[in-house]
Amino acid sequence: MNSLNLKHSIIFFNFCILVSPFYQQLNNVLIILCLFLILIVGISHGALDNKKGEKLFQLLGFKLNVLFYLSYIFISLIIIFTWLILPNIVLIIFLIVASFHFGKEDTVFKIRKNFLLNEILFFFKGSSVIIAPLFFHREGTNEIFAILNFYVFENSFFNDTSLIIFLSLSFISSIYLSIGKSINLRSIMILDYFSVIILNLFLTPILAFTIYFCFLHSIRHSFSLINEMDRSFKNGLKKFIIKALPLTVVTGLIFLISIYFLNNLYKIDEAIYKVIFIGLASLTFPHILLEYLLEKYEKRT
């Protein structure tokens, strides 16, 4: 897996360099391109949550799998309704949780010691995904946040100096987490960091995020799921596609239906932004909670 992850990071890094000169052409088909990449590639990496949920509920002693689905949907709906009432609070929590999630899931090796310190390092490592677009495209990023009724980053506290500090801490965290690891693992951490920087230097915030989310974060997580299913990558990939396809299709349809109805209230771009980010938030919270609980109870057993 380490060799596969290194090859993936090298390919992704070179892809970021190659795609950057074509930013103007890419930006012309921006929002539709981003939507379908997220629906097809991005969402699929969490499309096995039903299998993980069934496993978790078995560990907890629940026999009815329907309880997992009801719980997952309930949490997602709570996130959506809370966002509509308290967008600033929910989005800031989402960004913090997402930073931690990106930092932890994109770290391809296990770290056992200094639990609290590592959790902080994971947060700073993943924060580059949120901070880089603010630093390189502050106005464009805040326009997206304004569509989501979120204005925290317009505060003077988030000036260029503080953003540079955050980006520096992100890089330092990546280096610190990889201390004592092989040169291949350290290379993965460094390549991933500069890939995020290159994307946000040249591309608009939504396109940079989409490429990172789909082709680095999601594919890497999918690699680990494929490896769990079968040591043969080819066989594991077939099993992954078959099992992930149903929930990916269902979730994609829900996103598209939501855009259809929201388009009656907002411009199409605004409707898509709302569905992408509110939709991702509603999926991310139960997804992360599921990963945490499953990891916790698997260790006990």
Q: What is the mean pLDDT of residues 151-162?
A: 80
Mean pLDDT comparison of 40-49, 72-81, 216-225, highest-scoring range? 72-81
**Residue 78: its pLDDT value, please?**
92
Structure token pair of residue 153: 């980053």
The answer, yes or no, to whether residue 301 has pLDDT greater than 70, is: no
Angle at 198 between CA 197 and CA 200, to 5 degrees: 65
Q: What is the DSSP string of 216-279?
A: IIIHHHHHHHHHHH-SSHHHHHHHHHHHHHHHHHHHHHHHHHHHHHHTTTS-HHHHHHHHHHHH
Q: How far apart are CA 15 and CA 289, in angstroms?
A: 32
Q: Is the pLDDT of residue 71 over 90?
A: no
Percent of the chain past pLDDT 70, that is, above it, reads: 93
Query: Is pLDDT of 225 > 90?
Result: no
**Segment among 35-39, 123-127, 132-136 with least mean pLDDT:** 35-39
Which domain, by its residues, includes 83? 2-300
Mean of the per-residue pLDDT values for the chain? 84
pLDDT of 24 > 60? The answer is: no
- SS3 assignment, position 47: coil
- What does the pLDDT read at residue 289? 84
Token pair, residue 115, equals 């639990």
Predicted local distance difference test score (pLDDT) of residue 300: 61
What does residue 62 show for φ and ψ, rounded to 5 degrees? -90, 135
pLDDT of residue 122: 92
In this structure, which amino acid lies at residue 117? L
Is the pLDDT at 138 greater than 80? The verdict is yes
DSSP string covering 115-162, please? HHHHHHHHHHHHTHHHHHHHHHSHHHHHHHHHHTT--GGGSTTS-HHH
Number of domains within the chain: 1
pLDDT (0 to 100) of residue 72? 86
Q: How confident is the model at residue 20 (pLDDT cuts 50, 70, 90)?
A: low
